[in-house]
């Protein structure tokens, strides 16, 4: 099967958006940004063996390649619109490409995203997705808006994907709780609706892809602030608690990647409004402070040193 057949069979589907003048099939796509909106552009690559285990199912990869990008749009407060897909494949394996395309397409349709172009080449498996979305001019959520006294919040729960990955790697994947954790790893849910609801409310926002301490660190760097967070307030799922037993490995929610939740800050008078408008549960985990660095305390208020080192932002 030629690259042209692959594109026609698996990456061309009827245009779903009126703002696509010309999609897959020409030398470039023609797209219309609504007046008064800024275009938000994000790109992320998943490389085999680096960003996902080799045996990851193809439909999960199709889902995840788009989901991680939608998560970036969510963190900007943007409404998703279009995507491009650059795919490097070791072989034209139709079963694999069909499953990949299905995983990608079903998530794209769920979020109203049109696939408007891409590139298909042969080589070691690598998937690059670019997404584009809109935000009203001047209203994007950015990393640099955290101020001392703001609360620090996260949507959902932390550490599930990292614990799932540990079990996947160790091949101990039996039981409903581990399956729930693996679903978080393989099929992350981008927090697009939460990002939209946070426009005009959040001071700063970022999506959690590299782990809480690392990503919170980016917000603190951009904002010129520090933070205090408390382990006892970190939201853990029932599955995480059940699989972890009495002594959770705190490095998972603190430093494990692939959560794809949103972290955001709210000025003290904004929390009540956020409780009204956010469509998902969220939890306060700490407070922005003037002094640089991240101070972590445990349930008794004692200083806690994460066992994994290497994060520049930890004092
Ligand atoms: P060109 O040689 O002009 O770059 P290509 O032959 O690479 O064009 O691609 C033909 C058309 O198919 C283009 O519109 C391109 O955007 C689209 N395309 C190629 N690969 C993909 C893909 N994996 N997913 C979606 N569209 C693709
Ligand atoms: Mg090309």
- Write out pLDDT tens, residues 195-239: 999 999 999 999 999 999 999 999 999 999 999 999 999 999 999
From ligand 2's centre to the CA of 119, what distance in Å?
Answer: 5
CA distance 111 to 313: 35
Architecture, CATH, for domain 151-297: Alpha-Beta Complex (3.90)
- What residue's CA is closest to ligand 1, atom 24? 118
List where CATH 3.30.1330.10 sits in the chain. 3-136
Angle between helices 3-10 and 94-110 (to 10 degrees): 40
CA distance 113 to 2: 26
pLDDT of residue 308: 55
Q: Which residues of the chain carry a pLDDT beneath 70?
A: 307-315
Nearest to 131 by CA among 21, 56, 45: 45
pLDDT of residue 314: 42
CA distance 264 to 286: 11
- What residue's CA is closest to ligand 1, atom 5? 119
DSSP state of 112: T
3-136: which CATH number, 3.30.70.1150, 3.30.1330.10, 3.40.50.1820, 3.20.20.370? 3.30.1330.10
**Ligand 1 site: residues with CB under 6 angstroms?**
7, 11, 24-27, 85, 87, 115, 117-120
From ligand 1's centre to the CA of 64, what distance in Å?
Answer: 21
Give 245-290 pLDDT, tens digit per residue: 888 999 999 999 999 999 999 999 999 999 999 999 999 999 999 9
Burial of residue 180 (number of CB atoms within 10 Å: 0-12, 13-18, 19+): middle
List where CATH 3.90.650.10 sits in the chain. 151-297
CA distance 35 to 40: 14
pLDDT of residue 200: 96
Backbone angles phi and psi of 121, in degrees to 5 = -140, 170
- What residue's CA is closest to ligand 1, atom 2? 27
**Residue 27 marked as a ligand binder:** yes
From ligand 2's centre to the CA of 116, what distance in Å?
Answer: 13
Q: Quick one: which ligand is closest to 85's CA?
A: 1
CA distance 219 to 145: 8
């Amino acid at each position: 099967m030629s690259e042209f057949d692959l594109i026609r069979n698996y990456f061309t589907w009827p245009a779903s958006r009126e703002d696509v003048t010309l999609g897959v099939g020409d030398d470039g796509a023609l797209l219309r940004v609504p007046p008064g909106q800024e275009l938000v552009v994000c790109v992320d690559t998943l490389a085999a063996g680096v960003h996902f285990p080799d045996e990851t199912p193809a439909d999960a990869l199709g889902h995840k390649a788009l989901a991680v990008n939608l998560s970036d749009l969510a963190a900007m407060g943007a409404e998703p619109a279009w995507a491009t897909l650059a795919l490097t494949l070791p072989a034209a394996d139709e079963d694999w490409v069909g499953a990949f395309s299905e995983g990608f397409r079903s998530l794209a349709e769920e979020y109203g995203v049109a696939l408007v172009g891409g590139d298909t080449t042969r080589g070691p498996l690598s998937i690059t997705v670019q997404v584009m979305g809109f935000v009203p001019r001047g209203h994007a959520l950015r990393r640099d808006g955290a101020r001392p006294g703001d609360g620090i919040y996260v949507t959902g729960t932390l550490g599930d994907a990292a614990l799932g990955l540990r079990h996947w790697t160790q091949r101990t994947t039996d039981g409903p709780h581990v399956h729930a954790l693996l679903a978080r790893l393989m099929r992350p849910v981008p927090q697009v609706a939460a990002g939209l609801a946070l426009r005009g409310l959040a001071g700063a926002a970022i999506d959690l892809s590299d782990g809480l301490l690392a990503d919170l660190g980016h917000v603190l760097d951009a904002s010129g602030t520090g933070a205090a967070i408390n382990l006892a307030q970190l939201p853990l799922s029932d599955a995480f608690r059940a699989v972890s037993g009495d002594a959770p490995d705190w490095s998972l929610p603190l430093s494990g990647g692939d959560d794809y939740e949103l972290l955001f800050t709210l000025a003290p008078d904004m929390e009540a409004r956020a409780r009204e408008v956010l469509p998902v549960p969220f939890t306060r985990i700490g407070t922005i402070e003037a002094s640089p660095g991240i101070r972590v305390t445990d349930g008794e208020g004692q200083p806690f040193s994460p066992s994994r080192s290497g994060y520049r932002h930890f004092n």
